[in-house]
Amino acid sequence: MLSNLLSGIITVTPFVLLFFNKVGFVAKVRGSSMSPTLEDRVDYVFVERDNSPCKVDDIVVYSFPTNPSQLLVKRVKEVNISPLGQIWIEGDNYRTSRLDSKDIGPVSEGLVVGKIRHRVWPLAKFGKVE
């Protein structure tokens, strides 16, 4: 029984890691900077690993430049700010949004980890995020 379980885990693990690294992952929203679009500690979203260029109004997850392990969610307001490859990002809740381009200036598009296009929880709000 235990050997079957371990065999199953060993078989599935590479696929889970591949999915996480190449396709995306589910994340819980923390903070009010994207309110009312995304609600603090209520919404779970699917973060798509998407390498296509950012567009205005994309909701992106990015690594904070001075602390790459800190992931933040903001909306793209402008693209290709001089120099090219820089984006201007802000939270939807202007009053509470911090650590965005208002504070740190343009952000390198290379810091974008993924894009949020779908909410997966709560079920009543399941679907596309705009």
| Active site amino acids | 33, 74
Q: Which residue stretches of the chain are H helix?
A: 2-22, 101-104
Check if the beta carbon of residue 100 is closer than 8 Å to that of residue 91: yes
Q: How far apart are CA 90 and CA 19, in angstroms?
A: 29
How far, CA to CA in Å, does 2 sit from each of 5, 6, 7, 12, 54? 5, 6, 8, 15, 46
Residues with Cβ within 8 Å of residue 50, at least 6 apart in sequence: 114, 115
